[in-house]
Amino acid sequence: MFKLVSSMFKTAPVSVIPVTREVVQKRSSLCSKLQHIYKAQIGLLSNALPRETVDRIPLLKYYTAFGQQYLDQLSELENGELEKTEFSEERFLALINKQLDSKVLELESINQRITPSDLRLLDENYSKQIDAFFSHFHTNRIAASFELKEYIYPEPLLQVHDAKSVVDQAVKTTSQMLTLNDYPVPKFKQVSAVDGDLSVYCIAPHVVHIMFELFKNATLPSITHGKPILISIYGEEADPSTIVFKIKDNGGGMPPSMVKKIWQFHYTTTQDNERDPIHGFGMGLPLCKVFAEFNDGSLTLVNEEGDGVTVYLKLPRGVRK
């Protein structure tokens, strides 16, 4: 999973760019946005949870330990050198690429430390306050990565995309990832939509990642029951500005005890010895929800025990010029 996320944030090749007034303005804008995000993240890591709560749950300590990293990155942006023409654009790009790399590796570094005891303690003490902590942490992390990438790459990340093309890319990515990790590949069946204008305004890699997680979760139930994963795309009847992606697995559904916890960060039914690069971290659905909301969308799930799970991903409709 983390390799997939990392692939969305590859660094761009550095070219020689003169430091013009426009470059300095663009640089200043980025620094201002990042400073705001980093300060919010530092405040979250320092004050969002009571000290006794953090001390009691080691997994929370793995997160709060990132406080110093964000302080160091904030210091780099506030050192007063970045707006000088003597500070070359190549040096600036190297700095923000380094910061981008740190964002990519955060999840991986946390999950390398997690033990079954850590997961159990978190599950036993999980609360709305802890859930809000995780949601805000990952929203800030994604926002920082987005701003860094927006600066590095010439093409905007937030664009209008053909909805079916995004689904096709997600199906292809899922099939490749499952094959690489020795998992069976399910059958996919895309149900035709009647709406002619099925474009969405989104960050395509985010949406591909969401669908990869949804398809991955639906794989074994679908194969076990000999059913394809059904994919529908249509316009929201009650809201013309919204496109809906409906994904149904017909895989028998989940027990109620599991449904209660599926949006809980770091909740997993996978045993420690069963973990692999794409399973067992308990970050799939909760992180997908954060990605969906970051794209001004939503992610909801309907469980029908004995039938299957249906997930609805709603995103803003794209308006083509």
Task: Give pLDDT tens digits for 24-62.
Answer: 899 999 999 999 999 999 999 999 999 999 999 999 999
pLDDT recorded at residue 2: 47
pLDDT for the residue 167: 96
| pLDDT-above-90 percentage for the chain | 61
- Give the 3-state secondary structure of residue 127: coil
Q: Are 14 and 53 in contact (CB under 8 A)?
A: no
pLDDT tens-digit profile of 291-320? Answer: 999 999 999 999 887 788 999 999 999 976
Domains of the chain: 2-152 (1.20.140), 158-316 (3.30.565.10)
Indicate if the pLDDT at residue 132 is higher than 80. Answer: yes
The pLDDT of residue 272 is above 80: no
When pLDDT is averaged across residues 75-100 and rounded to a whole number, the result is 84
Q: According to the per-residue pLDDT averaged within each range, which of 41-50, 217-226, 279-288 is highest? A: 41-50
Q: Tokens 């939509």: give the residue.
A: 193
Strands (DSSP E) contained in 132-271 are 158-162, 188-191, 199-203, 229-235, 242-248
Q: How far is CA 70 from the centre of its chain?
A: 19
Task: Name the more confident of 136 and 21.
Answer: 136
Mean pLDDT of the chain: 87
- Residue 10 to residues 28, 102, 180, Cα–Cα distance (Å): 23, 12, 20
**What are the tens digits of pLDDT across the range 153-169?**
889 999 999 999 999 99
Nearest Cα to Cα of residue 228 among 240, 237, 219: 219
Residue 195 has pLDDT above 70, yes or no: no
Stretch among 125-139, 219-233, 286-300 having the lowest mean pLDDT = 219-233
User: Is residue 143 predicted with pLDDT exceeding 80?
Assistant: yes
Average pLDDT (62-67) is 96
- Residue 130 pLDDT more than 60? yes
More confident residue, 191 or 301: 301
Higher pLDDT, 138 or 82: 138
What are 90-96's contacts with CB under 8 Å, separation 24+?
90/14, 90/16, 90/17, 92/27, 93/14, 93/152, 94/14, 96/30, 96/148, 96/151, 96/152
- The CA-based dihedral angle spanning residues 79, 84, 89, 92, taken in that order and rounded to the nearest 10 degrees: 0
Please report the pLDDT score of residue 258 as a whole number: 83
- How far is Cα 172 from Cα 177, in angstroms, rounded to an integer? 9
pTM of the model: 0.88
